[in-house]
A and B are shown apart, each in its own frame.
Chain A
Amino acid sequence: AQSVTQLGSHVSVSEGALVLLRCNYSSSVPPYLFWYVQYPNQGLQLLLKYTTGATLVKGINGFEAEFKKSETSFHLTKPSAHMSDAAEYFCAVSPNNAGNMLTFGGGTRLMVKP
């Protein structure tokens, strides 16, 4: 079984500040990990994913995340927030032997202040 915990349902940062969205997972098998972004009244868009290989993965819009097995974490970061980053962010885990079934975290709403 797998689960995902996103710490902080709401995160507020100033424009230009560091963005850090936290994600911890549990999985009984090696996981695939994903971050999705959702803008209002839109579907989910993949930001980045970790499957195998390099543990620091870079995604779209300047975001990156690091898979830390020892901490069971996959936190999402961006060095400098932009107003257009305001959205809902979902972390998700998929067991690597389960045909792409996703378990989502509860989501974090990112607000960016001017």
Chain B
Amino acid sequence: DAMVIQNPRYQVTQFGKPVTLSCSQTLNHNVMYWYQQKSSQAPKLLFHYYDKDFNNEADTPDNFQSRRPNTSFCFLDIRSPGLGDAAMYLCATSSVLAGGRYEQYFGPGTRLTVT
């Protein structure tokens, strides 16, 4: 089945220690998104890629970076995690090509704990 895959599902890192979360998709969608979701809150968009074009949300901290080496993969790098970065990180994809279905497809998320 076509899907969005996130690894790992649970990640523990130490305060200040860089961490990378990964996302892959088999949907061949041209747009990929990273969201941060804190407890009992709505997902908050960090950035998205439209093909290779990177689009950063204005209030996304510089501590968060992303890479998209190809259509299928996208990575979220947190350079120096703080306690406030503990959250669920959601990857999503969508297609904006003609005939696209408009909705975003979400992965299962990676829950990040910072100790």
Binding site for B on A (CB under 8 A): 9, 32, 34, 36, 41-46, 49, 51, 90, 94, 99-102, 104-107, 109
Contact = CB atoms under 8 A, between A and B. Distances in A.
Interface of B: 4, 6, 31, 40-43, 45, 48, 50, 88, 90, 92, 94-96, 100, 102-109, 111
A74 B4 CA distance: 27
Contact of B109 (A32, A42, A100, A107): A42
A99 B90 CA distance: 19
A102 B35 CA distance: 11
B106 A43 contact: yes
B96 A43 contact: no
Contact of B102 (A41, A45, A94): A94
B43 A100 contact: no
Contact of A107 (B41, B88, B96): B41
